[in-house]
Amino acid sequence: MDMKFNRNEDHNKLLVSQLRQKLARVALGGGKKRIEKEHAKGKMTARERIAYLLDDDRPQLEIGALAGEGMYEEHGGCPSGGVVVKLGYIHGRKVIVVANDATVKAGAWFPITAKKNLRAQEIAMENRIPIIYLVDSAGVYLPMQAEVFPDKEHFGRIFRNNAVMSRMGIVQIAAVMGSCVAGGAYLPIMSDESLIVDKTGSIFLAGSYLVKSAIGEDVDNETLGGATTQTAISGVVDHKAANDREALDKIRRIVRKIKEPVRAGFNRIEPQAPARKPEDVYGLIPVKRSEPYDMYEVLETLVDAGSFDEYKADYGKTLITGYARIDGWAVAIVANQRTVVRNARGEMQVGGVIYSDSADKAARFIMTANQKGIPLVFLQDVTGFMVGSRAEHGGIIKDGAKMVQAVSNSTVPKFTVVVGNSYGAGNYAMCGRAYDPRFMVAWPTAEIAVMSGASASKVLLQIEEARLKKQGKTIDPETERKLLENIQRTYDEQISPYYAAARLWVDAIIDPVETRRWISEGIQTADHRPPEPFNPGVIQT
């Protein structure tokens, strides 16, 4: 290995180490003392409940572990958005589990909590898999109620989704393992089957204090809405469990009896290891994002050995398109090529930029993948579409629109991995979050923004200088330097993958060597829903 490889490897392993440290910290939720308080009440934590519920010999994927990262600091923070979401298996059956974390503000709902719950429901609906709710929440976080309660993508949408999933035939199971109050009480009752844990679980529209205030009635919470009340008297809940483990055992028995799903039948054969060790990827991605690298080498660490069949290899070279296998699954890959390449006319093309020929190639490839029923995998390291008079005269907007049209109307499952840059319309054309990838993950090397930090900072500096000049202020070199530093610092924070993960623009930041597992499990999840017929709409020629 050369010095450049070793330098890249050291840098990227450090980024992965920092990622692991962040994940270890958020896994503690509200902290060790609050975990101890839950144990003192005879309760398991959200993560302990999920670990007990899911098969421990099968893969698990956590969705949104870094949701809320760096947000709501003035309110004490909200690790993992106050809710833990995992994809896994129960008796071999793929499920998604949503568990309120009572160690974080008693499981109260922040805006990001609602968004994360809706994302979990979206995964269940997109892939037609059962969803399980482990409820332990004090309800809406009142200081932020205006950002949680009334809008279309707020708290109430969850109950609407409960009803829609029921119509779709998606199994929903809820266990009330702590508080379940106010509007949140509808979630378990709108599920297909519900459980409640004795002594620790409670369901009511208004707690004892509010009841006293509203109608003057003196009643304790257990009598008002405890397990015995809601199973033996009201009949609101279907099953009472003596403790957390008994409730979770009951859920496992329920899931074991669900009928087998209708499979999409995506093609899979015996997996093969990649031609190159997955760990080699650390040495391939450069320290400086302006440096070129060969995406073909990255693909060698990702796809099954000998499985890659390139499509239009000599045309539109800044995008690599081809069929391959990942963990045995047939996939159709669209990947940005970051080396400088020469096109068919002998012109040099900058890596990471989408040109007209690349967009045209990708659009047709995406359509053929849909025709064949092969899931799409997008590997993003894109700075955007080519600009300038030559590109405009060549119809770059038309060809870009063609690619966006194909991505938008694609009905096979799409999976997006942000390897490096994800800027501007390149993010859209390469199946960014707005284009409904089944799962979207980022490497620690990712950046997501309208443009790079360096470019944006210069533009913002010019705007700020013009504003100050209008006020009659002179800009000396030192003032200009400080302005640029402040702008750069703010923008760099916003293009970080952690900023994106905190807001659920991506489902997770992952160690690059975990990419094969994420894609494989993603296709396994998507295999529960056959694709709809493909209609690309009106494609310009």
How much is the average pLDDT of 181-188?
A: 80
pTM: 0.93
Convert the pLDDT of each residue in 388-440 to its tens digit.
888 887 888 898 999 999 999 999 999 999 999 999 899 999 999 999 999 99
CB 203 within 8 A of CB 237: yes
Chain mean position to CA 160: 22
CA distance 47 to 39: 13
| Cα–Cα distance list, 172 to 68, 189, 240, 258, 393 (Å) | 26, 10, 17, 11, 54
State the alpha helices, DSSP H only, in 373-476: 389-393, 396-409, 424-429, 453-470
Look at residues 97, 178, 187 and name the one whose alpha carbon lies nearest to residue 138: 178
| Single-letter amino acid, residue 462 | Q
Q: What is the CA radius of gyration of the chain?
A: 25
Convert the pLDDT of each residue in 500-522 to its tens digit.
999 999 999 999 999 999 999 99
Query: Judging by beta carbons within 10 Å of its beta carbon (0-12, 13-18, 19+), is residue 530 exposed, middle or buried?
Result: middle
| Cα–Cα distance list, 388 to 376, 392, 394, 430 (Å) | 30, 6, 10, 21
Structure-token match 């990649």, residue found: 274
CA distance 21 to 15: 10
Phi-psi region of 210 (alpha: psi -120 to 50; beta: other; left: phi over 0): alpha
pLDDT at 1 over 80: no
Percent of the chain at pLDDT above 90?
A: 72
Look at residues 480, 490, 420 and name the one whose alpha carbon lies nearest to residue 453: 490
| Cα–Cα distance list, 70 to 77, 297, 323, 461, 501 (Å) | 7, 35, 39, 26, 10
Per-residue pLDDT at 271? 98
Task: Supply 375's token pair.
Answer: 């899931």
Convert the pLDDT of each residue in 52-74 to its tens digit.
999 999 999 999 999 999 999 99
State the alpha helices, DSSP H only, in 496-514: 497-502
Convert the pLDDT of each residue in 221-263 to its tens digit.
888 889 999 999 999 999 999 999 999 999 999 999 999 999 9
Per-residue pLDDT at 453? 66
Q: In a 3-state reduction of DSSP, which class is residue 341?
A: strand
Stretch among 35-39, 303-307, 430-434, 490-494 having the lowest mean pLDDT: 490-494
CA distance 100 to 225: 19
> Per DSSP, what are the bridge partners of residue 423?
449
Per-residue pLDDT at 267? 98
Pick 487 or 224 by higher pLDDT.
224
Mean pLDDT of the chain: 92
How much is the average pLDDT of 285-291?
A: 90
CA distance 121 to 191: 12
Convert the pLDDT of each residue in 294-353 to its tens digit.
999 999 999 999 999 999 999 999 999 999 999 999 999 999 998 887 777 777 777 789
In the 8-state DSSP scheme, what is residue 180?
E
Structure-token match 């469990």, residue found: 241
How much is the average pLDDT of 112-124?
A: 97
CB 375 within 8 A of CB 266: yes
Q: In a 3-state reduction of DSSP, which class is residue 93?
A: strand
